[in-house]
Amino acid sequence: MDWGKKNRISQIIKPETGRTVMLAVDHGYFLGPTSKLEVPEEAITPLLPYADALMLTRGVLRNCVSPETSVPIVLRVSGGSSIIGADLSNEGITTSMEDAVRLNVSAVALSIFVGSDYEQQTLMNLAILVDMAEEYGIPVLAVTAVGKELGKRDERFLSLSCRIAAEQGASFVKTYYCDDFEKVVGSCPVPVVIAGGPKLETELDSFKLAHSAIQKGARGVDFGRNIWQNPNPIGMIKAIRAIVHENASPEDAQRIYDKNK
Ligand code: 5RP
Q: Read off the pLDDT band of 1 (50, 70, 90).
A: confident
In a domain, 49, yes or no: yes
Q: Which of 71, 116, 125 is nearest to 56 (CA)?
A: 71
Measured in residues, the chain has a length of 261
DSSP, collapsed to helix, strand or coil, labels residue 64 as helix
105: domain CATH number is 3.20.20.70
In a domain, 78, yes or no: yes
| 79 torsion bin: left (phi>0), alpha (psi -120 to 50), beta (else) | left
Which pLDDT score is estimated for 197?
87
Contact (CB, 8 A) for 162 and 184: yes
In a domain, 178, yes or no: yes
In a domain, 223, yes or no: no
As for how many domains the chain has, the answer is 1
CA 76 to ligand 1: nearest atom: 13
Amino acid identity at 65: V
Indicate the burial class of 174 (C-beta count within 10 angstroms; 0-12, 13-18, 19 or more): buried
Which pLDDT score is estimated for 103?
98
Which of 20, 122, 143, 144 to mutate for ligand 1's pocket (most ligand atoms within 8 Å of CB)?
143
**Average pLDDT estimate for 165-173:** 98
Q: How many CB atoms lie within 10 A of CB 3?
A: 8
Confirm or reject: Cβ of 79 under 6 Å from ligand 1: no
In a domain, 155, yes or no: yes
Which of 34, 222, 236 to mutate for ligand 1's pocket (most ligand atoms within 8 Å of CB)?
222
Residues 6+ apart with CB under 8 A from 165: 112, 126, 142, 144, 173, 188, 190
Percent helix / strand / coil, the chain, rounded to 5: 45, 15, 40
| Buried/exposed code over 81-112 (b: 16+ C-beta within 10 A; e: otherwise) | beeeeeebbbbbbbbebeebeeeebbbbbbbb
Confirm or reject: Cβ of 172 under 6 Å from ligand 1: no
In a domain, 229, yes or no: no
In a domain, 45, yes or no: yes
CA 223 to ligand 1: nearest atom: 10
Q: Read off the pLDDT band of 247 (50, 70, 90).
A: very high
Compute the distance from residue 223 Cα to the ligand 1 centre, in Å.
7
Residue 146 has pLDDT above 80, yes or no: no
CA 174 to ligand 1: nearest atom: 13
Residue 150 has pLDDT above 90, yes or no: no
| Protein residue with least CA distance to atom 4, ligand 1 | 24
Residue 149 has pLDDT above 60, yes or no: no
| Protein residue with least CA distance to atom 13, ligand 1 | 143
- Quote the percentage of the chain above a pLDDT of 90: 94
Q: Read off the pLDDT band of 25 (50, 70, 90).
A: very high
Note down the domain range covering 112: 3-200
In a domain, 61, yes or no: yes
| Protein residue with least CA distance to atom 8, ligand 1 | 224
Which of 20, 22, 26, 55 to mutate for ligand 1's pocket (most ligand atoms within 8 Å of CB)?
26
Confirm or reject: Cβ of 40 under 6 Å from ligand 1: no
**Average pLDDT estimate for 99-110:** 98
174 in catalytic set: yes
Mean pLDDT of the chain: 96
**Average pLDDT estimate for 57-67:** 98
